[in-house]
Amino acid sequence: MKRTAISDQPSCAAFWVRAVAEALRPEGLDLQALFAEAGLELAALKDPDARFASDNISILWHVAVARSGNPTVGLAGAQIAKPAAFDVVAYTMMSAPSLLGVLERIVRYVRIVSDAARVDVNKDPEGFRLTLEIAHGRQHVPWQRFGFFLMTFLSFCRWVTARDLRPIALELAFAPSADMAPYKGAFKCPLRFNAPSNGLLLSPSDVMSPLPTAHQVLSEVHERIADKHLQQVETSPTRLRVLAIILRRLSDGEPTRAKVAKAMAMSERTLQRRLTEEGTSFQQVLDDARRGLAEHYMGRDDVSLADIAYLLGFLDKSSLFRASKRWFGTSPGHRRALFVAKGPYRAAVSEDMD
């Protein structure tokens, strides 16, 4: 599988990035300049096998918001149902017997769309909750990126059910922006901010509704094709897959090699052998992930050094101090001060740990 603009991090499929570009085009933005500023090659969207670094997609959204001055940029485009945005995954969802089947298949095949993304569906007293995670590397994942995915998915569900599907709520793990009225109008449901996760809450009656496009025979064919595509993604470099899992789990504490190997459905010995073949080790990947996140969080004034230690999976601030000395040759407080001097971030420096 060809990878365009990829280093060693999670990526997004060309068809998904093309959907983003199509949603941004009506905003009057210069896509060529926008992609270039984000470190992406617009012409590569024509290559169906290309994949784009997830961090660069986050930069693309940051730049689009900055250039347009519109915090809800791309939302209007996401409301237009485009099955092509999900490519082969769309066929598996279309042939599912019910909306529940659609949810189950986006959970299973979302990595074809982006191996930085993880979707889960759980039933609770409120209904069926679909949650979306996007692993971040050195770039903060803007809330607009979550909103675009969820709106694009909801638009597909409305199209495939032939109904004006209205969720119980849209949940965002962010504070509300200046004007969120367009989001309320697009999702046609209450908005919940500062939620534990990003996602959609759907009613049981909607989720269990049958699809007019359901087709058992085609469903089996489509799933076989999707499984092959998923296998291609899953056979990407082991280091990349380990990194994605570590980034998702760091805030829950230091992920062990045993837990990561289990998540990848392989033994610890196999995991270590594959990493060795790629010239690295589990500990090195873990250290690289922490260093990248540390650089990101130290550039933000809304995250304390104690919180950074927690988000990096350290037991205490002293562990962060030792790691910062090793990574950057200085304390976390001094490293944070460098961001202030360089800009564009304005980071608090009152928590120097000397």
Q: Tell me, what CATH number does 30's domain have?
A: 3.90.1520
Q: Give the pTM.
A: 0.70
Please tell me whether residues 255 and 153 are part of one structural domain: no
The long-range contacts involving 264-273, CB below 8 angstroms and separated by at least 24 positions, are 264/238, 271/238, 271/242
At 204 the pLDDT is 97
Kindly state whether residue 351 falls inside one of the protein's structural domains: no
User: Has residue 196 been placed in a domain?
Assistant: yes
Of 184, 199, 225, the one marking the end of a domain is 225
Query: What is the overall mean pLDDT for the chain?
Result: 88
* Number of domains into which the chain is organized: 2
Q: Which domain holds residue 85?
A: 11-225
For residues 38 and 60, is the Cβ–Cβ distance under 8 A?
yes
- The per-residue pLDDT for range 277-318, each reduced to its tens digit, is 888 999 999 998 899 888 878 877 778 899 999 989 998 899
Q: Which helix (H) or strand (E) holds 13?
A: strand 11-13
Q: Give the pLDDT mean for 134-160.
A: 92
- Same domain, yes or no: 187 and 48: yes
DSSP 3-state assignment of 196?
coil
Do residues 168 and 289 both lie within one domain? Answer: no
Mean pLDDT in residue range 65-93: 95
Does residue 10 have a cis peptide bond before it, meaning omega lies within 30 degrees of 0? Answer: no
